[in-house]
Amino acid sequence: MARKLKFIHVGTGGFGSNWCKNVLPYAVNELQAAELVAAVDINPEAHTNVIEALNFDPKQCYTDLRQALQENPCDFVNIVVPPFAHEYAVDLALEFNCHILMEKPIAEDMESSCRVYHKVKQSGKKMAISMSHRYDQDKKSLEALIKSGDYGKLHYLIGRFTANNRHAVNNLKEYAHQNFLISSVIHHFDIIRTLSGANAKTVYTQSWNPDWAPFKEHATALIQMEMENGVRAFFEGSKTNATALNNWTRDYFRAECELATLELNHREITLRSDLDPAQKINRPVPLLEGDSWSHRLIMKEFMEWVQGGPEPANSIDDNIQSTGLQFAAIQSGLTKQIVDVQAFLAEHLHRTAVR
């Protein structure tokens, strides 16, 4: 990198504390590619996370993003705040001519996500969304195996995320019947798009709650997708099961290819094939090697992009497709109809375009 990029980190509490402890030190100290010039959180007590992680100057901690931007010119803003505050934070970052890296999702609903998309594209600034699961070592490894061509054409994908979250506090009130989809499955949609190598063409969702679920919103869903390249995908998700077969970071994805089955389960990949009866294959496949994964790799690629490098896979141009698929799936669950994902996305982008 030609020079250190100056940046402001927004959100030092909640999940932002993970960034402070595990990601920012990597960018600032290990890569020595960036300089944190200010940190922002509306809760002053949360500033402790960044102060301790980076031995950061408390005088550079703010409770107001506008003030931080006014007093600290920077190259980009890293936003790790709840989705309802995303559009506001993006507006301020663009007002001060900053590039943007932001935690998923783009925004809390489809309309706000599309408005953010238009604003960023019109500004000419670069923006990426931190879709960390597609950047996990195991998912990147499965993607590489599928796209190597060694196992023939991809036929279809199966994915699963199941957990016991019956104790969770249900606080999503504005999206009746769709808690699971809003809060979780955006990652899995993003992974399915990545593994299939295509955007979604159609989606059909069946979502519901069993009698024992404590949620107002639906926390169980079976989702069928057809991708634009003809690959089909089926996803099972539930937060109300008796046990966690495949919870966070222990995802299940199975790629049925022409010549083999590739199965990812609990961060291990197994290759299977019975095409040659005399030499059946059933063996583990080593994961890719690398010095950074997940949020660290996201941060590294984003900074390289800002410095003139290649556009990363999680740019807003790509992620708007995952967002469109997510909310199209929600629409399908509400209407019990197959939804044309590209038409759904185009309609919302048209509706929110600045005239």
- For residue range 313-336, what is the model confidence (pLDDT) as tens digits? 999 999 999 999 999 999 999 899
Looking at residue 341, what is its pLDDT? 98
Judged against a pLDDT cut of 50, whether residue 202 lies above it is answered with yes
pLDDT band at 125 (very low <50, low <70, confident <90, very high): very high
Q: In 182-336, where do the E strands start and end?
A: 200-208, 220-227, 232-238, 252-257, 261-265, 268-273, 281-285
Q: Is the dihedral of CA 170, 214, 130, 203 positive or negative?
A: negative
Average pLDDT, the chain: 93
Span 136-140, mean pLDDT? 98
Looking at residue 355, what is its pLDDT? 65
pTM for the model stands at: 0.93
Q: Which residue has the higher pLDDT, 184 or 232?
A: 232
254-296 confidence digits (pLDDT tens): 999 999 999 999 999 999 999 998 999 999 999 999 999 999 9
Cβ-contact 136, 178 below 8 angstroms = no
Cis peptide bond prior to 105, omega within 30° of 0: yes
Cβ-contact 116, 87 below 8 angstroms = yes
Q: What b/e readout covers 291-313, taking b as 16+ CB neighbours within 10 angstroms? A: ebbbbbbbbbbbbebbeeeeebb
Judged against a pLDDT cut of 50, whether residue 176 lies above it is answered with no
Span 6-11, mean pLDDT? 98
Distance CA 171, CA 95 (A): 32
Looking at residue 172, what is its pLDDT? 42
Q: How many CB atoms lie within 10 A of CB 269?
A: 20
31-49 confidence digits (pLDDT tens): 999 999 999 999 999 999 9
Looking at residue 249, what is its pLDDT? 85
Question: What percentage of the chain carries pLDDT values higher than 70?
Answer: 95
Distance CA 99, CA 114 (A): 18
CA angle (200 as vertex; 182, 235 as ends), nearest 5:
55
Q: Dihedral (C-alpha) 297, 303, 308, 314: value to the nearest 10 degrees?
A: 50
Looking at residue 95, what is its pLDDT? 98
Distance CA 34, CA 125 (A): 18
Cβ-contact 206, 222 below 8 angstroms = yes
Span 201-215, mean pLDDT? 89
pLDDT band at 201 (very low <50, low <70, confident <90, very high): very high
Q: Residue 334: CB partners within 8 Å, gap ≥ 6?
A: 177, 178
Sole residue written with tokens 């185009």: 346
